[in-house]
Amino acid sequence: MSDPLIRADGLSVHFTLGGLFDRRILKAVDNVSLDIEQGSFFGLVGESGSGKTTLGRALLKAVTISKGSARYDDGEVSHDLASLDGPDLKDYRKRAQLIFQDPYAALSPRMTVRDIIAEPLEVMGLTANRAETDERVREIAAKCRLNLEHLRRFPHAFSGGQRQRISIARALVSGPKFIVADESVAALDVSIQADVLNLLKQLQDELGLTFLFISHDLSVVAHTCDHVAVMYLGRLVETAPTRKLFAAPRHPYTKALFSAIPSLDPDDRGTAQKLTGEIPSPTNQPTGCKFHTRCPHAIDLCMREEPQLESEGGHDVACHRWKELMSAVPA
C-alpha cells in the first residue's frame, strides 16, 4: 500500500472561551489519529457538535492545530501541517481545497461564473495571463459539465445542482490533490444529489483526487466512500472500510446512528433502538467514555475510564464492551 496522503497523529483542536475569570477550554477535536490513503474517498460522520467540520478545517490548515501533528505527502512535496506558514502554506492552499455545504451562500452574486471560477487562479497567481486563465476555466468547467454559455451568467440564474457544480469547478481549478467536501450534497434535492455524487466520483477517477467527505447522512456515505470514520464529541469512536462498518458496526453509537435512519418500508415503523438525550456540550464533557451518558450498555468502567481505539481486522473501535456486545447480540 502506498503512503497515506494525510496522516494525523494525536491531532487536537482546542478553543479557549470566556474571559479572565471563567476561562474554559472547548475541545472540538481531541487526540484524533487517522490515515487518509492516496486516492480514497474517506467519509467522516457524526452529529452536529461532533467536531467533524473542525477536523476537516484543521486538515486544510484553516484552524490552528493545538496539539499533535498532521502530515500531507503527495509524493511531490510533503508538508507538516501544524507548523505550516509562508510560501509553504501558499503551496498547500493550491493542493488542498474545500467544497462548501450551501451552494447558495458560497457564490458571490455579483460575479459572473467565469470570474468565480477564475478567482483562485488570480489570487494564487497560477496563470501568466488572461488567455491562460480563460483556458483553465473552460477546461475545468467542461469537466464539471458546465457549458461555455453558463460562464457569462451570474449565479442567481442557476439551480442548486448547477451551483454546486460551479463550487466544485472553483475548488478544482487550482489543480488540488486533496479535497474536503463538507456536507456538499446536504442542501440538494434527492433527485440532484445522486447526480453531484456521481460527478464527484468521476472527477476523483479522472483527476486522481483524494476526498475527505464530511456528512451526517449515512446512506450517502455508504454509497460513495471506501473508508468511514465516526466521530463523537471530538473523538474518533470507530473507523473501518465502508463494507466492514456497514456489515457489522461495533460501537453502540454507530449502531444507534444506523437504526435512526428512517426506513423506506412503511411497515417497519418504530423497530429502531432509539438514542435518548442529545450530544453533551463540548465545554462540559463527560468523564470516561464520552458516550456513556447516552449509551444503553454503559457500566461503571465506562464512566471512569476512556476507551482507546482497538484495532482488529482493519476495523478500529473505541469501546470497552464491544467484543462482549458483538457476541451477545448477533449483528
Binding site for other proteins (CB under 8 A): 47-48, 159-162, 189-195, 197-198, 216-220, 222-223, 242-243, 246, 256-267, 269-270, 272, 274-276, 278-279
Least distance (Å) from other proteins to the CB of residue 207?
A: 20
91 vs 217, which CB is nearer to other proteins?
Answer: 217
Residue (52 or 136) nearer to other proteins, CB: 52
Contact 72, 79 (CB under 8 A): yes
| Identity of the residue, 78 or 263, whose beta carbon is nearer to other proteins in the bound complex | 263
Q: How far is the CB of 38 from other proteins (least distance, A)?
A: 23
Collapsed DSSP state (helix, strand, coil) of residue 37: strand
Task: Supply the minimum distance, in Å, between the C-beta of residue 138 and other proteins.
Answer: 21
Q: Are 185 and 220 in contact (CB under 8 A)?
A: yes
Q: Provide the grid cell at 185.
A: 450534497
Strand ranges inside the chain, DSSP E: 4-17, 24-37, 41-45, 67-73, 78-80, 96-99, 178-182, 210-215, 227-232, 235-241, 310-312, 315-317
Reading the block at residue 179, the C-alpha cell is 479535497
Q: Which is nearer to other proteins, 49 or 175 (CB)?
A: 49
**283 vs 25, 43, 234, CA distance in Å?**
6, 26, 11
Give me the least distance between CB of 199 and other proteins, in Å please.
Answer: 9
Of the two residues 191 and 327, which places its CB atom closer to other proteins in the complex? 191
Q: How many angstroms separate the CA atoms of 198 and 180, rounded?
A: 16
**Least spacing, CB of residue 39 vs other proteins, in Å:** 19
